[in-house]
Amino acid sequence: DAMVIQNPRYQVTQFGKPVTLSCSQTLNHNVMYWYQQKSSQAPKLLFHYYDKDFNNEADTPDNFQSRRPNTSFCFLDIRSPGLGDAAMYLCATSRGHMNTEAFFGQGTRLTVV
């Protein structure tokens, strides 16, 4: 039973064309995260929501935005994808304390053409 679901698994978008990736969770966790993982690299946090509070990492480009309309769903919007944004995007959830593990979805692999 998938607990963190990301759609789609694979997304191809055109250079400069806005794209939205989605994530849903059945765990009722407070925190939802978006990580970017480029090829052969470690996942890197873009931002996270603690309930409705949005927290942006200092080095996350303005091109990346996020929405969390309710507890279960979180979206990653890339306003003008560039070739350098091609990556695996991982959504994760946690109860919110640093001592709890994060549960990851299967990721969305984004290709920019």
Partner 1 sequence: AQKVTQAQTEISVVEKEDVTLDCVYETRDTTYYLFWYKQPPSGELVFLIRRNSFDEQNEISGRYSWNFQKSTSSFNFTITASQVVDSAVYFCALSGSGNTGKLIFGQGTTLQVKP
By CB under 8 A, tell whether 34 contacts partner 1.
Answer: no
38 or 79: CB nearest partner 1: 38
19 or 47: CB nearest partner 1: 47
Each residue 47-66 as x (binds partner 1 by CB under 8 A) or -, in order, gives -x-x----x-----------
Q: How far is CA 26 from the centre of its chain?
A: 16
Instruction: Write down the least CB distance from residue 16 to partner 1, Å.
Output: 26
Cα–Cα distance for residue pair 100/95, rounded to 1 Å:
7
Please, what's the b/e burial string for 62-72 (b: 16 or more CB within 10 A of its CB; e: otherwise)?
eebbbebeebb
Instruction: Write down the least CB distance from residue 62 to partner 1, Å.
Output: 20
| Contact indicator for 44, 73 with CB cutoff of 8 Å | no
CA angle 61, 62, 66 (to 5 degrees): 100
52 or 79: CB nearest partner 1: 52
Of residues 86-105, which lie at the interface with partner 1 (CB under 8 A)? 88, 90, 92, 94-105
